[in-house]
Amino acid sequence: MLTVLIVFQVLCALGLVALTALTTTKSEQSGSGMWGTIGGKTSSSIAGLEDQLERVTMWVAVAFLIVSALVGMVALRAA
């Protein structure tokens, strides 16, 4: 059980790293694009993609937090 949880925790951590690397910061958004920003987003960005990426990142972070707590509880019981 503990091994499965640790593997899932590592997968969530890797997913968070990848998702964080894919997101653009506000300074990257405002500096790129010839037309500037519209509503905080560049006019050349795909509509809704950043919002979806933000939601997925949030849920992966929540899963990582829950799995980390479960790993801690299971490890304490096993000790």
Kind plus residue range of the DSSP H or E element containing 38: strand 37-38
In-domain check, residue 10? yes
In-domain check, residue 22? no
In-domain check, residue 34? no
In-domain check, residue 78? yes
Q: Give the pLDDT score at 61.
A: 97
In-domain check, residue 73? yes
Which one has a higher pLDDT value, 35 or 66? 66
Domain count, the chain: 1
Q: Which domain holds residue 74?
A: 1-14+48-79
In-domain check, residue 24? no
In-domain check, residue 4? yes
pTM of the predicted model as reported, rounded to 2 decimal places: 0.72
**pLDDT tens, 57-79?**
999 999 999 999 999 999 999 88
Q: Tell me: pLDDT of 37 over 70.
A: no
The gap between the terminal CA atoms of the chain, to the nearest Å, is 14
Which one has a higher pLDDT value, 27 or 9? 9
In-domain check, residue 8? yes
